[in-house]
A and B are shown apart, each in its own frame.
Chain A
């Protein structure tokens, strides 16, 4: 590095260049003007202008989820930060590596209720992995280095760096360290060999095993190891909503997603197994239902996770293994290959027979001959037309569940949705990030007419950058999931109905310069999708008018256990 004196703004951009950042998603404002100035003077780091800071965060998030890189967002102080909080919390709940650079009022104005001032560090503290306020120009470069290090190591998460405007103008010698070490943060840990041995013993002795995997497998880039392990053992494998794509869904050992809207066979197997191997998953309430009902004295649980605080947090486990999923799986595979013992082949054959019995329930069936469009059919046709290879982002609600149930993900980092926070409005801006990370990929956003309106202004961003996204709007003229709960548990007392206030989505898309289609007949679904994907250079908004009465099945009602599913 040189001994040149640079301003804080120049240093910020140089740090991003050193980190190899291609794109940052942002929205300008007073506190970040100097940083924007430096951004425009170079073209290594490309800035993507959104239309609302929430979208900048979701776009950086979608970029990170679909590419294994750190997503970067740039926002201004005050309202810029408060608009970003939803996006930051979304990334935090799903453990996504992101660095957020926010402008702040000058250091001499902090705490004096200045124009566009908020306590950024205070407001974001509960929803970031860590945050920094840079009060001194000499700390700026090392802080940005630390931010990237913290966000991308251990259990990933968003890290915010708050840069006061005067710091961005001051000068100092620029030096970017090649590495950084922090005595208070040491994410690498060696797996306990004793625990690994115990796990192997349990695995080899199990008669009704189950492998339950989540987002941690994808974040650890461990899909190859997981596939090896599952197939070596011939055990059934299920994914959580966040783990879809971690194991090929079209493989016969995949029993479907589990949880509140998981398949019958996955939930029954999870409930009745005798050895549960949990990999990169956290026993979330959407997955296990009522913890008392889930508890089974006879069942032994092995839990592999990089975060010790996730282990035995909701469910007590028998063999905790703290470590990176890919490292631990490598070790397990090595130990299994070296072991002279085999699995309980006969017992496992009977277990598979039981699972196949459960599969016969055909829990995802729906009326394929309906004269009204069934949302499940749209997802199935989308899967067919894209040959299962597209990047699918989604919003939140019934459409999200049908997307997860009916689009079979064989590869990781293709299914991009807000699982932990469940943020409506995530789908479209995330798709923007996904398209930038995968310029040659087909990107579709499966959404509902309620969710898509939360960040609808991003249709303008798509036009500016000519992003050929395909928006699959499952329009049932209701907030579907809310309506389903009101139907099941609140005596059909449907609260807000907004059907008379919905826009004409075709006209709306066209007003932004895109192609709009309205599809009302089941026979037109496939042709519409084919036509949309043929248009390689246009965003196509497809408004599918779907059956309002359709509900997501199976469903585990609140407070109920895994085997207490409501079935279709």
Chain B
């Protein structure tokens, strides 16, 4: 999208006005400072997704769109999760974090903050693996995506 004030509001407004659902949304400027890149996850039938893409294309600020789920792509999300870690549990939690290739980015006597990246399902799996009642706080960015190989989204 054009990196202009209000571009994000237009997209969000479109989804809410037309009753489409935003599962997650992530946006930031690209290597070209006049352009920003938004990755949006939505759920719907083929017809609905087709309409969503057409409606987004109509927005004046939107330059180009692709449906990543149409082909091979990499999906990546970042999560920070703060867990209660006391006594014997500390080793167990560190072990689980290692299995998931997570990094511990903050430590206190009673807690760990773990940074995890990967697909949304990997992050979901991590949360399912550790004890629910040890989770103090989670922050997720939402998925960002990029096409595999020569599949490039460029203006």
Contacts and interface: CB of A to CB of B under 8 A. Distances in A.
A and B associate in one complex:
yes
B54 A130 contact: no
Interface stretch (A304-312, A326-334, A377-385, A407-415): A304-312
B66 interface: no
A210 interface: no
Nearest to B60: A130
Interface string A110-126: 00000000000110011
B60 A182 contact: yes
A158 to B, nearest CB: 13
A316 B55 CA distance: 16
B54 A122 contact: no
A108 interface: no
A295 to B, nearest CB: 14
Interface string A367-395: 00000000000000000000000000000
B114 interface: no
Nearest to A316: B47
Interface string B46-78: 010011001101101111000000000000000
B155 interface: yes
A184 B2 contact: yes
Interface stretch (B6-14, B93-101, B128-136, B137-145): B6-14
B51 A184 contact: no
B60 A309 contact: no
Contact of B58 (A122, A133, A309, A312): A309
A85 to B, nearest CB: 15
Contacts of B10: 125
Contacts of A184: 1-2, 60-63
B58 A125 contact: no
A514 interface: no
Contacts of B17: 126
Contact of A309 (B1, B5, B51): B51
Nearest to A135: B5
A313 B60 contact: no
Contact of A125 (B5, B13, B55, B63): B13
A142 B42 CA distance: 35
Nearest to B55: A309
B13 A309 contact: no
Interface in A167-198: 182-185
Contact of B63 (A183, A312, A316): A183
Given A125-B10, A126-B13, A185 B60 contact: yes
A319 interface: no
Nearest to B51: A313
Contacts of B13: 125-126
A309 B57 contact: yes
A129 interface: yes
B9 A125 contact: yes
A150 interface: yes
B60 A150 contact: yes
Contacts of A129: 60
A379 to B, nearest CB: 37
A67 B9 CA distance: 34
Contacts of B62: 184
Nearest to A313: B51
Contacts of A182: 60
B57 A122 contact: no
A122 B51 CA distance: 23
B30 to A, nearest CB: 14
A307 B58 contact: yes
B135 to A, nearest CB: 37
B126 to A, nearest CB: 39
A122 B60 contact: no
Contacts of A183: 63, 155
Contacts of B1: 184
Nearest to B7: A184
A323 to B, nearest CB: 15
Nearest to A308: B54
A121 B63 CA distance: 20
Interface in B1-37: 1-2, 5-6, 9-10, 13, 17
A401 B58 CA distance: 32
A130 B14 CA distance: 12
A150 B61 CA distance: 12
Interface in B88-124: none
Contacts of A312: 47, 50
Given A125-B10, A126-B13, A130-B60, 10 more contacts: A121-B6, A125-B9, A133-B6, A183-B63, A183-B155, A184-B2, A184-B63, A307-B58, A309-B58, A313-B51
17 contacts: A121-B6, A122-B9, A125-B6, A125-B9, A126-B13, A130-B60, A133-B6, A183-B63, A183-B155, A184-B62, A308-B54, A308-B57, A309-B51, A309-B55, A312-B47, A313-B51, A316-B47
Closest 6 CB pairs between A and B?
A309-B54, A184-B63, A130-B60, A126-B17, A308-B54, A185-B60
